[in-house]
Amino acid sequence: MSRLTPPALAIDGATLMQRLRELGAIGRDEAGGLSRLALTEQDKAGRDCLVRWMKDAGLKISVDAIGNIFGTWMPEIDAAAVMIGSHIDTVVNAGIYDGCTGVLSGLAVMETLQAAGLEPHCPIIIAAFTNEEGARYAPDMMGSLVYAGGLALEEALSTEGTDGSILGDELRRIGYAGSMQPGAITPRAFLELHVEQGPVLEAEGIAIGAVENLQGISWQRVVIDGDANHAGTTPTGMRRDAGLAAARVVTFLRDYVTAPNAATVATVGTMQFEPDVINVIPSRAIFTVDLRDPDEDRLRTAEAALRDFLDELGESDRVSVSSERLARFEPVEFDENLATLIEASATERNLTCRRMTSGAGHDAQMMARICPSAMIFVPSTDGISHNPREHTHEADLIAGANVLLDVARALSDAE
Interface residue with ligand HGY among 64, 89, 111, 140 (CB under 6 A) is 140
- Kindly state whether residue 332 participates in binding ligand HGY, applying the rule CB under 6 A: no
Interface residue with ligand HGY among 142, 360, 401, 410 (CB under 6 A) is 360
- Kindly state whether residue 198 participates in binding ligand HGY, applying the rule CB under 6 A: no
Sign of CA pseudo-dihedral 269, 274, 277, 283: negative
Helix (H, G, I), strand (E, B) or coil at 225: strand
| Amino acid making up residue 277 | V
Interface segment toward Mn ion; rule CB under 5 A; list 45-53, 91-99, 176-184, 387-395: 91-99
C-alpha angle 170-171-177 in degrees, rounded to nearest 5: 155
Interface residue with Mn ion among 64, 89, 98, 303 (CB under 5 A) is 98
**Partner from Mn ion, ligand HGY, none contacting 198, C-beta within 5 to 8 A by type:** none
- Kindly state whether residue 11 participates in binding ligand HGY, applying the rule CB under 6 A: no
Nearer to ligand HGY, 360 or 405 (CB): 360
Question: How far is the CA of 50 from the CAs of 58, 71, 105, in angstroms?
Answer: 13, 10, 12
Interface residue with Mn ion among 71, 99, 123, 187 (CB under 5 A) is 99
Alpha carbons 239 and 332: distance in angstroms, whole number: 45
- Kindly state whether residue 361 participates in binding ligand HGY, applying the rule CB under 6 A: yes
Measured from the CB of residue 162, what is the shortest distance to ligand HGY in angstroms? 15
- Kindly state whether residue 192 participates in binding ligand HGY, applying the rule CB under 6 A: no
**DSSP letters spanning 44-59:** HHHHHHHHHHHHHTTP
Sign of CA pseudo-dihedral 177, 178, 183, 186: negative
**Partner from Mn ion, ligand HGY, none contacting 134, C-beta within 5 to 8 A by type:** ligand HGY
Measured from the CB of residue 378, what is the shortest distance to ligand HGY in angstroms? 16
- Kindly state whether residue 363 participates in binding ligand HGY, applying the rule CB under 6 A: no
127, 83 in Cβ contact below 8 A? Answer: yes
Q: What are phi and psi of 71, to 5 degrees?
A: -115, 120
**Partner from Mn ion, ligand HGY, none contacting 89, C-beta within 5 to 8 A by type:** none
Helix (H, G, I), strand (E, B) or coil at 236: helix
Q: What are phi and psi of 359, to 5 degrees?
A: -80, -25
In the complex, the residues that contact ligand HGY under the rule CB under 6 A are 132-134, 140, 360-361
